[in-house]
Structure 1
Amino acid sequence: MPHHQTVKGISVDAETRCAHYHSSIDRIAIKFFCCQEYFPCFECHEAAGCGKPQVWPKEQFHEKAVLCGTCGHELSVDGYLACASTCPVCSSPFNPGCTLHKHLYFE
């Protein structure tokens, strides 16, 4: 595994893909604010998480909360929202469709 973070969820592979999102560009995991644990998606958190989902508050967007499943780089929320769906370290593409769900993770 290229990263050293534990990523919880359903059928999580080495690049953080899961049973719900598993295309070649689904390669991030989100640290949930409520439990401070990484999951590939909100559905995995719903199935195997703390049961008390909370979004990241804006005043903490400087905190590391997104993991690149390819190289293991951790991005802050601000960094992730500004990265144009590409890892700033290894240039791996992230799924741009994830922005449709950002309200489930970030205030």
Structure 2
Amino acid sequence: MRRRVHDTTVRGVDVGPETRCGHYDGPTDVIALRFGCCEAFFACAACHEATADHAAAAWPRDRFDEPAVLCGVCGARLAVGTYLEADFACPDCGAAFNPGCARHYDRYFEGVDPVEG
């Protein structure tokens, strides 16, 4: 399925108005991530796996200065560096982001190790 979240198309399974999906539906599950393989935003890696017709590829390191994270609360598009330095909150609106996403950084951002916690 595809859903417009602010002015961005987000793909996935049962995507809600703030980017929550059928896989992650908690109060802080409010980001979508852009994949390097198709340049499309998905609610999560499992959504990409379930709905895309190709293998996922993380956002390339040499493009970390480009927007690759969408805040589902306010619609801000964040560069990877900005997102990683934001301490699990949107720097534009202050919405809390799920810190558990750090366990999957390697799926989303090329060369970034997952953080256990």
TM normalised by structure 1 equals 0.95
**1:71 alignment partner in structure 2:** 74
Structure with the largest fraction of strand: 2
Is residue 9 of structure 2 the alignment partner of residue 9 of structure 1? Answer: no
**1:88 alignment partner in structure 2:** 91
Q: Secondary structure at the match of 1:25?
A: coil
Gaps of 5+ in 1: none
RMSD of aligned residue pairs (Cα, Å): 1.2
Q: How many residue pairs get matched?
A: 107
TM normalised by structure 2 equals 0.87
Distance in 2 of aligned mates of 1:64 and 1:85: 16
Distance in 2 of aligned mates of 1:63 and 1:35: 15
Contact 1:29-1:68 within 8 A present in 2 as well: yes
Render the CA deviation track for 1:12-59: whole Å, top value 9, x for unaligned: 000000000000000000011110111010000001124121112222
Aligned partner letter, 1:24:
P
**1:32 alignment partner in structure 2:** 35
Q: Secondary structure at the match of 2:69?
A: strand
- Kindly indicate whether structure 1 or structure 2 has the higher relative contact order, using CA contacts under 8 Å at least 6 residues apart: 1
Cα displacement (A) at 1:2: 5.8
Instruction: Provide runs of 4+ in structure 1 moved above 2 Å.
Output: none
| Identical aligned residues as a percent | 47
State which of 21, 28, 34 in structure 2 corresponds to 1:18.
21
Gaps of 5+ in 2: 111-117
